[in-house]
Amino acid sequence: MLTQVLINGVLKGGLYALMALGMSLIWGVMDIINIAHGSFIMLGSYTTYWMFTAFGVDPFVSLVISMGVMFLLGYTIQKNIINLIIKAEIFITLILAFGIEIFINNFALLAWTSDVKKVKVAYAASNFQFLDITIPYVRLFAFILAIIISIILFIILNKTRLGRAIRATSQDIDAAKLTGVKVSHIYAITFGIGTALAAAAGTLWSILFPISPIMGGELTLKSFVITIIGGLGTMLGPIVGGLTLGIIEALGTNWFGTTFENLISFTILVLVLIFMPKGILGGKSKS
């Protein structure tokens, strides 16, 4: 039983890691806490849902389309809205992100109502047995895909010219400008990538869990918790934070019930802030 619970926690933790990766990237590069992050995850979920419902596109196929659409949306929002106050105090950026979240959520409510929906693929209940452990195919595929996307992002940030420009902008804006980096363009691309990652997480979420226009708030808070737990300023932070939270939630809900899932998450957040304010990996802290 304990092994089964741990496996469930690891599989969910992979999705959590992908969910927080976009928030961590935007926060680390632009010093913006994107409160609208969960709303972008929600939009990614609905993009997948409607493509599946209207055209029968498999979610694992539509994931690429969802990421592309949300990248363009994120790039446009940053370039034309957020970039106008990018140098303002963090409180101002929080207010703007909150306004974007309210707009997206209300748009979703008007467009799709508050009814709960779910992508019902034919293989949703399929699983296999391994050493008396039941592993659902969908959760396993979602976990593997989350890891693959994380690796691709790691390669982009560390092995490409674009990645070097993003890292340079994160470390020293003035030095980046002197080397010819167009900071406003890099910011827009970074925000677009973070939004695309949120869409990928939303696609996988729509396969595993019900979705609704008001789901974004909880997912934003989860992403924030994961980012803090893992540590800001490192690519491994969201992965470590996601797996940690997934395992702890699985153990906690097994012992105390699903009602206490969010309580467990925020208890862990408080403990980390008290005893390890820079997170498990000791990334750079943001004030």
* pLDDT per residue as tens digits for the range 57-71: 999 899 999 999 999
Query: Residue 217 contacts by C-beta under 8 Å, 6 or more apart in sequence?
Result: 38, 101
Instruction: Give the pLDDT of residue 47.
Output: 96
What confidence tier does 125 reach under pLDDT thresholds 50, 70, 90? confident
Surface-to-core class of residue 205, CB atoms within 10 Å of its CB (0-12 exposed, 13-18 middle, 19+ buried):
buried
For residues 40-54, average pLDDT: 95
CA gyration radius, the chain: 18
CB 19 within 8 A of CB 12: no
Residue 39 pLDDT > 50: yes
Residues 86-114 have pLDDT tens digits of 888 888 989 999 999 999 999 999 999 98
Kindly provide the b/e burial profile for residues 162-201, where b requires at least 16 CB atoms within 10 angstroms of the residue's own CB: eeebbebbbeeeeebeeeebebeebbbbbbbbbbbbbbbb
Residue among 163, 193, 224 nearest 16 (CA): 224
- The whole-number pLDDT of residue 63 equals 93
pLDDT value at residue 180: 87
Look at residue 185 and tell me whether its pLDDT is greater than 50.
Answer: yes
| Average pLDDT of the segment spanning 59-85 | 94
List the Cα angle 71/204/227 in 5-degree steps. 70
Compare 283 and 25 and report the one with higher pLDDT: 25
Which among 26, 10, 83 is positioned nearest to 198, based on CA atoms? 26
Confidence of residue 285 (pLDDT cuts 50, 70, 90): very low
Q: Is a pLDDT exceeding 80 seen at residue 259?
A: no
Task: Report the pLDDT value the prediction gives residue 282, as an integer from 0 to 100.
Answer: 66
* Percent of the chain residues topping a pLDDT of 90: 53
pLDDT of residue 287: 40
**Average pLDDT of the residues of the chain:** 89
Q: What is the average per-residue pLDDT within 74-79?
A: 96
* 3-class DSSP state of 205: helix
pLDDT of 283 > 70? The answer is: no
- Using one digit for the tens of pLDDT, what is the confidence trace for 189-241? 999 999 999 999 999 999 889 999 999 999 999 999 999 998 876 778 898 99
Find the mean pLDDT for residues 134-156.
88
